Chains A and B, each alone.
Chain A
Amino acid sequence: MSRYRIPGKGRVDHSAPVSFTFDGKTYPGLRGDTVASALLANGVHLMGRSFKYHRPRGAVTAGSEEPNALIGTSRGPGRFEPNTRATVQELRAGLVTESQNKWPSLSFDMGAINDRAYMLFSAGFYYKTFMWPKSFWDKVYEPVIRGAAGLGKSPTETDPDHYASRYLHTDVLIVGAGPAGIAAALAAAQSGADVTLVDENPEMGGSLLSDPGVQIDGKPAWDWIEAQLGRLRAAGVRLMTRTTAIGYYHQNMVGLCQRLTDHLDSPPKGAPRERMWRVRAGQVVLAQGALEKPLVFDGNDRPGVMLAGAAQTYLHKYGVRVGDAPAVVTSHDSAWYAAFDLADNGARVAAIIDTRDTVRPDLLDAARKRGIKVLAGHTVTTTKGRLRVKSVRAAPVRGTHVGAGRDIACDCLLMCGGWTPSLHLFSHTKGSLAWDGQTFLPDRKTEDVEIAGAGRGLWGYEPALADGAAAGLRALEGLGRAGHGTSFAVANDRPGTGVSHTELPTDGNPGRARAFIDFQNDVTAKDIRLAVREGMRSIEHVKRYTTNGMATDQGKMSNINGLMIAADALGKAPPQVGLTTFRPPYTPTSFGAFCGYLRGETFQLTRKTPIDPWAEANGAVFEPVAQWRRAWYFPRAGEDMHAAVLRECKATRASLGIFDASTLGKIEVAGPDAVEFMNRMYTNPWTKLAPGRCRYGLLLGEDGFIRDDGVIGRLSPDLFHVTTTTGGAARVLTMMEDYLQTEWPELDVWLTSTTEQWATVALNGPNVLAMLKPLVQGVDWDDFPHMSCAECTVAGLPARLFRLSFTGEVGFEVNVPARHGLALWTALMEAGKPHDITPYGTEAMHVLRAEKGYIIVGQDTDGTVTPQDAGLDWAVGKAKRDFVGKRSLSRPDIVAKGRKQLVGLLTEDGSLLQEGAQIVLDPDQPKPMRMVGHVTSSYQSTMGHPIAMAVIEGGFDRMGETVFIPMPDGVRKARVTSTVFYDPDNARLKA
């Protein structure tokens, strides 16, 4: 039996021991314990070191708001998780945990030197200290700061667990299953509404689990909970435990993170670790209760100093006495009950120190009966003890005068500075808050939401139950359903009131006080006052300057204390200083839960062409292009990428190459007004293009910049077969639809995406005609010159045949219905054998097109390139009255001199340039140099030397000039040339 465990007490299973390790030492615990409750049962309060000063810290809470007791947990390889709250992590067999922010050990930590030097580390320390010399930032300050900063250690292995994701539609979602939440669920479950009740804890019941002496409708609290949960289950209410509402989004969408396996000794194989729910609720009831506030005094962070309500929870839920001799310091009635419960369970309460002069007589009576010393109208000025609190110094306060203090020996100090309604989720909705003189309460709502119980400042079980029932009923009425009211009779209720404070008065030097507000980020009251002195006026500035409330607990305990002190320093009322904005998630949430299924192979879909199986079977190396996977090159044994690509290019130029172009975007533009529509969309003139012919089309944005291009065939007077770039297909169709639907709805045109309906095979090379002609039926070869198209059959398959070239060789693109794609490819491979037909991939395609100076939109253009800039002036129908982007081509900036223009580059030393490299005119100019352009494309070519394309200011006027490309290993020289490196007269096309 652990020293501080009370036999038979609590909701833990005393017959089910579970052992675990903390920093290498094995401890006994019980089924139902958290790591924190089990450590406390063994008398261990020291659980971590703070972030900045490395001060020893213990658990200060018993819940998800814990700022101090952050541990690393692990369950085998890849399953290490840092920054887990020891107050939340349930024990499981074999659980391995470790403390954080310490070296070499938790009890002796070198980093605690920061604590001695705390005067240096005050608010704004980083901003002030690391300003100069400037050169020190990269090399000295940042690496040192980064090394010392950070909570816990990031895991380095891939997370082997998987995470699930679900949607849920429900009539009423109730967040928080304490008394108010349960009462709301009972009310809402009348009349058959679909009700969901969620709670972040393993068990429902909320604060009632820590107050078993309360009786509701004649039943002890725990029996009442069990009975009500049974009723809810019977009524079909969805009850979800270990489920945290992490965010409240528009129109009553609430994100829930459900933890499924972390508490299990051995998770079922294949079970998801967590499940993210996206819930759309008709009505939401927030019954999240309130969070206890610490008091702010010197030494309020020593291990053993904790919230009074937490001690009460450890006692009743876990059967753990957090100390034998607790002292209590409070400004609220609630801590008195914690003192009484501990006294009734074997603790010798050293004293109850209340900051208020007057305390309720019944509380004083109850203390007297138990022989507890009461110090009303007292403050706490400091605590003592290195790794655990040993004594607390209490002193009387009269007005502003602090009298002589006395040390009171204790082994733990329970504090309570009042309670803050938990309004995080309400704040996510941008609901407004109202200050009631002590704290913020929910005010104007923006969603269909009710707030019940302690979450709106009510205290005591009877008011909370009545409020929950009323909120549930209002939610039901909000759905247009009817129900009846409920009332609850509560015996042994624990009503209470309290007051809020800034720092407690002290007789010591306030400048030396280590009175913590934000425990996790080590922010003290002095830091807040310093920030105000240094000019911070808004709470948002105070927050960022001091980091108050910026830790992983998002200021759950620190925000109101920080605000009270800032307001006091500014001499303003707290609402005039404002409250910082809470944002999702409510508690730290794993990346896995957000990712859900969207990781690894299921991160996004992979589009494959009908010919993909052949490429895979024939050793293709693939590359992703948009969402497609495309064959990049087809290496033979012993070939690297460069050798394979060069062989594929040469084979195509010498005889015959075959290429899977199925990913090309395809759009059918059909209808009586199709030609007019094409005239308005594309720069080129289409009226005179005869059916059976095709043309290179250029698409601009209204701003005059190139958006897309592709060859477009006119199959009949009212039918155009448009091709687009692989990545641009959806964008182009959307743009066409936009103009058709909203600018020119009078045009009778139909647009259809046919990208996936056609498989497209490109054939290029001097032997293509010899190979293809015998396979084609329905084409008049005497009238089928370059840039022709026809509907015909190829290898017996129905086809749309285009004669065009993206290589400079005689070329065709054969389109067949996608289901025939593989058959076509196989037939062409067979027919091409006599010509050593060679499959080539996207890399060879790029090289071949670059040798001819054919651009790739998005590579050689970047959204700021006009047709003139790209040397595509010839594709612009200047006689046309209008087309998309035409007016912009005469804008002053577009016709100005010095625009970047697309040119070719040949390096002097024959080296390969890097795509994206910047170009300068004078390599000897001082830095930063004036950059006049950059390399857009660069390849090894079939001509024995590398080629490149680049955009350069005034490039067309620089033909033959030398430009410079500074690289880390030296400056390259290159000559400006035409972009057409190969067969500039198109002799091969005409052959």
Chain B
Amino acid sequence: MLLIHCPYCEDTLPELEFTYAGEAHIARPADPSTLSDEEWRDFLFIRTNARGPHYERWRHVGCGRFFNALRDTVSDRFLMTYKAGLPRPPLTNEAAE
């Protein structure tokens, strides 16, 4: 069972308290009606499915907040977590390894 750091609670807690919420940094278009069918399809369904570091969303059920994480999908290791709305942090050398 993983230990996950909630950037709002500033506490590292067991995975049981968290749920996964899909890939991060996919903003809902401001006006979906202006999107073509293909663009809207991509927004709905197309995801990176990364092997390795993956930007993704998690929710801490305890405090109810959604936040972002960088997790390695091979090792299942959390490389970092950060608050929702912050820009995508760059991959560190360690993370890119």
Contact = CB atoms under 8 A, between A and B. Distances in A.
B93 interface: no
Given A250-B1, A888-B40, A743 B28 contact: yes
Contacts of A892: 37
A881 B33 contact: yes
Contact of B1 (A278, A702, A881): A278
B96 interface: no
Contacts of A702: 28, 44
Contacts of A882: 31-33
Nearest to A446: B75
Interface string A7-38: 00000000000000000000000000000000
A445 to B, nearest CB: 12
B40 A742 contact: no
A703 B44 contact: yes
20 contacts: A250-B76, A251-B1, A251-B2, A251-B3, A734-B59, A737-B66, A738-B59, A741-B66, A742-B57, A742-B66, A742-B85, A882-B31, A882-B32, A882-B33, A886-B32, A887-B35, A888-B44, A891-B40, A891-B41, A892-B37
Given A251-B2, A882-B33, A886-B33, 18 more contacts: A250-B1, A250-B77, A253-B1, A702-B44, A737-B64, A738-B59, A738-B66, A741-B65, A741-B84, A742-B85, A743-B28, A881-B33, A882-B31, A887-B32, A887-B33, A887-B35, A887-B40, A891-B37
B31 A742 contact: no
A866 to B, nearest CB: 14
A219 interface: no
Interface in B40-87: 40-41, 44, 57, 59, 64-66, 75-77, 84-85
Residue of A253, A734, A742, A886 contacting most chain B CB atoms (<10 Å): A742
A430 interface: yes
Given A743-B27, A888-B40, A430 B84 contact: no
B21 interface: yes
Nearest to A887: B32
A737 B66 CA distance: 8
Contacts of A280: 3
A624 interface: no
Which 8 residue pairs across A and B have the least CB separation, nearest first?
A887-B32, A743-B28, A742-B84, A250-B2, A251-B3, A741-B66, A253-B1, A742-B66
B88 to A, nearest CB: 14
Interface in A226-272: 249-251, 253
Interface string A714-734: 000000000000000000001
Contacts of B33: 881-882, 886-887
Interface of B: 1-3, 21, 27-28, 31-33, 35, 37, 40-41, 44, 57, 59, 64-66, 75-77, 84-85
Contacts of A741: 65-66, 84
Interface in A623-682: none
A785 interface: no
A430 B77 CA distance: 12
A926 to B, nearest CB: 36
A892 B65 CA distance: 35
Interface residues of A, number: 24
Nearest to B21: A738
Interface string A885-929: 011100110000000000000000000000000000000000000
Contact of B31 (A278, A743, A745, A881): A881
Contacts of B57: 742
Interface string A730-763: 0000100110011101000000000000000000
Interface string A750-787: 00000000000000000000000000000000000000
A822 to B, nearest CB: 31
A451 B71 CA distance: 27
A444 to B, nearest CB: 12
Contacts, number: 51
A249 B64 CA distance: 26
Chain A binding site: helix, strand, loop or mixed by DSSP?
A: mixed
A323 B84 CA distance: 71
A745 B32 contact: no
A75 B66 CA distance: 51
Contacts of A737: 64, 66
B34 to A, nearest CB: 9
Nearest to B24: A742
Nearest to B43: A702
Contacts of B27: 743
Contacts of A881: 31, 33
A254 to B, nearest CB: 11
Contacts of A742: 57, 66, 84-85
Interface string A682-706: 0000000000000000000011000
A941 B64 CA distance: 43
Contacts of B3: 250-251, 280
Contacts of A249: 1
Among B1, B21, B76, chain A packs the most CB atoms within 10 A around the CB of B1
A253 B57 CA distance: 24
B86 to A, nearest CB: 11
B45 to A, nearest CB: 8
A737 B35 CA distance: 25
A312 to B, nearest CB: 40
Contacts of B77: 250
A892 B59 CA distance: 33
Nearest to B29: A887
A182 B33 CA distance: 69
Contacts of A430: 75
A250 B76 CA distance: 8
A216 to B, nearest CB: 39
Contacts of B28: 702, 743
A781 to B, nearest CB: 40
Interface in A563-577: none
A765 to B, nearest CB: 40
Nearest to B34: A887
A682 to B, nearest CB: 16
Nearest to B19: A734
Contacts of B31: 881-882
A251 B75 CA distance: 11
A892 B21 CA distance: 27
Contacts of B75: 430, 446
A976 to B, nearest CB: 31
Interface centre among A430, A703, A881, A887 (most CB of B within 10 A): A887
A702 B26 CA distance: 13
A282 to B, nearest CB: 12
Nearest to B39: A887
A924 B77 CA distance: 57
A446 B65 CA distance: 30
Contacts of A253: 1
Contacts of B41: 891
Interface in A271-297: 278, 280
Nearest to B76: A250
A291 to B, nearest CB: 28
B35 to A, nearest CB: 7
Contacts of A703: 44
Contacts of B84: 741-742, 745
A412 to B, nearest CB: 46
A394 to B, nearest CB: 50
A745 to B, nearest CB: 6
Contact of B85 (A734, A745, A891): A745
A690 to B, nearest CB: 28
A881 B77 CA distance: 42
Of B21, B44, B85, chain A has the most CB atoms within 10 Å of the CB of B44
Nearest to A430: B75
Nearest to A885: B32
A480 B72 CA distance: 27
A734 B66 CA distance: 10
A173 to B, nearest CB: 15
Contacts of A888: 40, 44
B3 to A, nearest CB: 5
